[in-house]
Amino acid sequence: MRAVGYLQTPITIKKAMLFSFFLFGCIALSLFSSGKVMAQGNLLITPRRVVFEGKKRMQELNLANTGKDTATYNISFKQIRMTEDGQFVEITQPDPGQNFASDYLRFFPRRVTLAPNEAQLVKMQVVKSNLLQTGEYRSHIYFRGLPQEKPLGEKEDRSDATGLSVSLTPVFGITIPVIIRRGESTAQVSVSDLKLERDETLITSLKLRLNRTGNMSVYGDIRVNHVSPEGKRSQVGLVKGLAVYMPTASRTFSIKLENPAGVDYKMGKLHVVYSKQKADKGEMLCEAELNLH
């Protein structure tokens, strides 16, 4: 999932200022925060996930076109399963214990066309909330890029020596999880099966398993610190925005570790902490240690 030229539509000073402020905010978030920006191709989206809980009924997604051509995106919902290795598989029927959120959401617009350096909001609203039961509902909002049409009169000839004409048009798409939560969460998570690995290129990685129980998903950051025999702590690994979605019970994950001066992976121990992000007060969800020999 991941051009012919279009005449660029002039944008007003107001739109240019909006895009400038939005783009600056996205860059700042990507550098200094917990990774609230989702970017792929020339489409920049913030936030990277939407959660409705408590009395929250309305939220907005910010879209920006950072490319040089006008782009159009159709917006719809996808239903997705998370596998144990963290991959996403599209489904049509929910797994046992899984609820789709799309029946309880509406959004506007359903198609956006963005000129270069143009930004736009997509508004989302929870509906039929009286029908929601305690637990979690999840769907993924899908932005699918539409191939650009060639200006009238322009022709493309890609015939090879056999006379066969081939035209390939890449289609770009990106999904954002949208979650509705009702009632108290009973979710708990633990870290297990820690194992240090080193590949043929001498890159050191830590393999682990996140084990989830309860009625909701978990989401947070993983930090890995090396603790020397003398007690010196050095951060050697960080992964932000790691989720275990309902109803998946566990997820395996591998973190590439850094090799700062003074760190010896044959001595001391590794301390792993999985915690909520700063926006959620950074509460620790679980921790574990691996003794090194």
Query: Residue 88 sits in a domain of what CATH number?
Result: 2.60.40.10
Per-residue burial over 75-86, b = 16 or more CB atoms within 10 Å of its CB, e = otherwise:
bebebbbbeeeb
Locate tokens 């076109």: which residue? Answer: 65
* 207 shares a domain with 124: no
Residue 22's φ and ψ, nearest 5 degrees, are -65, -45
pTM over 0.85: no
* 101 shares a domain with 233: no
* 217 shares a domain with 175: no
| Closest by CA position to 107, among listed 173, 153, 39, 61 | 61
* 138 shares a domain with 56: yes
The pair of three-digit structure tokens given for residue 26, joined into one six-digit string: 């996205």
pLDDT digits (tens, 9 = 90+) for 74-120: 999 999 999 999 999 999 999 999 999 999 999 999 999 999 999 99
pLDDT digits (tens, 9 = 90+) for 163-196: 565 555 555 689 999 999 999 999 999 999 999 9
Distances (CA, A) of 287 to 98, 121, 137: 27, 38, 27
* 223 shares a domain with 169: no
Residue 244: is its pLDDT beyond 50?
Answer: yes
* 246 shares a domain with 142: no
Tell me how many domains the chain contains.
2
Q: Is residue 156 part of a domain?
A: no
Give percent above pLDDT 70 in the chain.
Answer: 78
For residue 71, the enclosing domain spans: 13-149+161-182
Residue 3: is its pLDDT beyond 60?
Answer: no
Q: Is residue 3 part of a domain?
A: no
* 235 shares a domain with 265: yes
